[in-house]
Structure 1
Amino acid sequence: MVWHESLLFLLSIVLVLMLIGAPVALAFIGANLVGAWYFMGGSAGLTQLLNNGFGALSSFSLVPIPLFLLMGELFFRTGLGMRMFNAIDHLMGRVPGRLSYVTVVGGTAFSTLSGSSMGSTALLGSLLVPEMERRGYKKYMSIGPILGTGGLAIIIPPSAIGVLLATLAKIDIGDVLIGGIVPGILLAGLYMLTIWLKTKLNPSAAPAYDVESVPLAQKLMIFMRDILPMLSVIVIIVVMMLTGFATPSESAAFGALGVIVLALVFGELSVESFKLSVVGALKVTLMAYLIVFGSATFSQLLAFSGASSGLIHWATSFDLPPLLMLACMLLVLLVLGTFMEAISIMMITVPFFFPLAQSMGFDLVWFSVITLIALEIGFSTPPLGLNLFVMKGVAPPGTTMQEIYLAAIPYIVCSILLVLLLVAFPSLVTWLPSLS
Structure 2
Amino acid sequence: MEWYLALSLMLGTVCTTMFFGLPVAIAFFTANIIGTYLFISGDIGLVMMPMEFNNAIKFTFAPIAMFLLMGEILLQTGVAFKAIGSIDRLISRVPGRLAVVSIVGGTIFSSLSGSTIANTAILGSVLLPDMIKRGYKPTIAMGPIMAVGGIAMLIPPSALAVLLASLAEQSVAQLLIAGIVPGILMAFGFFAYVIIRCSINPELAPPYSPDESALDEPIVLTVNTSARTLLHWSYEGRHRRRINRVLPFLLYILPLLIIFVVVVGSILFKIASPAESAALGVLAALGACYFFKLFKNIIKITGIDGADFSLKDIWKALMETMKINTMILFIIAGSLVFSQALANSGATNGLLNSVMKMNMTPLMVVIMMLLVLLFLGAFMDQVSMLLLTLPFFLFGSSSLQAVFNIDVIWLMVLMLIAMEISLLTPPFGLLLYVMKGVAPNNVTLGQVVISAMPFIIIELMVLILLIVFPEVATWLPNKIK
TM-score, normalised to structure 2, is 0.85
**Identical amino acids, percent of aligned pairs:** 41
Which one-letter code corresponds to 2:271 in the other structure? F
Once the two structures are TM-superposed, the CA of residue 139 in structure 1 deviates from its matched residue by: 1.0
Do 1:166 and 1:173's aligned partners in 2 also have CA atoms closer than 8 Å? yes
SS at match of 2:146: helix
Structure-1 residue corresponding to 2:472 = 428
Report deviation, 1:216. Answer: 4.1
Tell me which of 369, 378, 391 is aligned to 2:422: 378
Counterpart-to-counterpart distance in 2, 1:30 and 1:138: 45
Could you tell me which residue of structure 1 aligns to residue 65 of structure 2? 66
Contact 2:142 2:452 in 1 (8 A): yes
Shift of 1:21: 4.6
Question: What residue is the counterpart of 1:50 in the other structure?
Answer: 50
Mapped contact 2:35–2:342 kept (Cα < 8 A): no
Partners of 2:12 and 2:443 in 1: how far apart? Answer: 39
Alpha-carbon distance between aligned partners in 2 of 1:134 and 1:415, rounded to the nearest angstrom = 29
State how 1:310-321 maps to structure 2 within 5 Å: 310-321=350-361
- Which residue matches 2:111? 112
Q: Distance in 1 between matches of 2:312 and 2:121?
A: 21
Verify: 1:242 aligned to 2:268, yes or no: yes
Q: What RMSD, in angstroms, separates the aligned Cα atoms of the two structures?
A: 2.1
1:228 is aligned to 254
Q: How many residues align?
A: 435
**Is the 2:262–2:284 Cα contact (8 Å) retained in structure 1?**
no
Q: Deviations over 1:250-290 (max 9, x none)?
A: 11122222222222321212344333322222222111111
Between the aligned partners of 1:125 and 1:380, the Cα distance in structure 2 is: 15
C-alpha distance in 2 between matches for 1:93 and 1:17: 48
Q: 1:411 is paired with a residue of what secondary structure?
A: helix
Larger deviation: 379-388 or 323-332?
A: 379-388
2:98 alignment partner in structure 1: 99
Q: Give, in whole Å, the separation in 1 of the partners of 2:50 and 2:127.
A: 47
1:283 equivalent in alignment to 2:323: yes
Equivalent in 348, 354, 358 of residue 388 of structure 2: 348
Change (3 A) 1:264 1:407: same
Q: TM-score, normalising length from structure 1?
A: 0.93
Sort the Cα spacing of 1:111 and 1:24 in 2 relative to 1 into closer, same or farther, 3 A. closer
User: Of 240, 253, 263, which aligns to 2:279?
Assistant: 253
* TM-superposed deviation, 1:382: 2.5
Deviation string, structure 1 residues 316-362 (Cα, Å, up to 9, x no partner): 21012322222221111111101111111111111112221232222
Separation in 1, partners of 2:267, 2:50 = 33
**Are the equivalent residues in 2 in contact too, given 1:237–1:255 (CA < 8 A)?**
yes
Point out the structure with the larger helix share. 1
Question: Displacement, 1:297?
Answer: 1.2
Instruction: Answer yes or no: is the 8 Å Cα contact 2:55–2:333 preserved in 1.
Output: yes
- C-alpha change, 1:275 and 1:386, in structure 2 (3 Å) is farther
What amino acid maps onto 1:420 in structure 2?
A: I
Q: 1:21 and 1:93 mapped to 2: Cα distance? A: 43
- Answer yes or no: is 1:266 the counterpart of 2:310: no
Q: Distance in 1 between matches of 2:343 and 2:7?
A: 10
* Contact preservation (8 Å) 2:57, 2:329: no
- After TM superposition, give the deviation of residue 249 of structure 1 in Å: 1.1
Give distance in 2, aligned partners of 1:379 and 1:277.
28
Q: In the aligned structure 2, how far is the partner of 1:230 from the partner of 1:164?
A: 23
2:362 paired residue among 313, 319, 322 = 322
Alignment correspondent of 2:453 = 409
Deviation at 1:20, TM superposition (A): 5.0
Shift of 1:399: 2.3
Q: 1:397 to 1:12 in 2, by over 3 A?
A: closer
CA deviations 1:36-86 (Å, max 9, x no partner) are 2222222223333432x1232121111111221122222222111111111
Deviation at 1:186, TM superposition (A): 0.7
Amino acid at match of 2:382: A
Which is worse superposed, 22-31 or 162-171?
22-31
What is the letter of the counterpart of residue 425 of structure 1? Answer: F
| Partner Cα separation in structure 1 for residue 319 and residue 140 of structure 2 | 35
Cα-to-partner distance string for 1:77-112 (whole Å, 9 max, x where unaligned): 211111111111121131221222222233333433
Measured at CA, do residues 95 and 17 of structure 1 come closer, stay the same or move farther in structure 2, by a change above 3 Å?
A: closer
Query: Equivalents in 2 of 1:189, 1:20: separation in Å?
Result: 40
Label 1:114 to 1:11 Cα distance change in 2 as closer, same or farther (>3 A): closer
Equivalent in 373, 384, 391 of residue 435 of structure 2: 391
8 Å Cα contact 1:113/1:234 also seen in 2:
no
Distance 1:93 1:17, change over 3 A: closer
Instruction: Give the letter for the 1:31 counterpart.
Output: A
Residue matched to 2:6: 6
C-alpha distance in structure 2 between counterparts of 1:20 and 1:147, whole Å? 25
Write the distance in 1 (CA, Å) between the matches of 2:147 and 2:16: 34
- Counterpart secondary structure, 2:127: helix
SS at 2:426's partner residue?
coil
Label 1:399 to 1:314 Cα distance change in 2 as closer, same or farther (>3 A). same
Give the counterpart letter for 1:42 in structure 2: G
Distance in 2 (CA, whole Å) between partners of 1:402 and 1:429 is 34
* 8 A Cα contact 1:145 1:191, kept in partner: yes
Q: Distance in 1 between matches of 2:445 and 2:76?
A: 29
Q: Look at both structures and tell me which one has the larger radius of gyration over its CA atoms.
A: 2
**Quick one: distance in 2 between partners of 1:261 and 1:97?**
34
Residue 234 of structure 1 aligns to which amino acid in structure 2? F
Structure 1 gaps of 5+ residues are none
Structure 1 CA distance, aligned partners of 2:274 and 2:255? 20
Distance 2:97 2:280 in 1: 34
Structure 1 SS opposite 2:309: coil
Matched, 1:335 2:375: yes
Residue identity opposite 1:333 in structure 2:
L
Structure 1 residue 221, shift from structure 2 partner: 2.9
SS at match of 1:63: helix
Shift of 1:220: 4.4
Could you say which residue in structure 1 is the equivalent of 2:401?
357
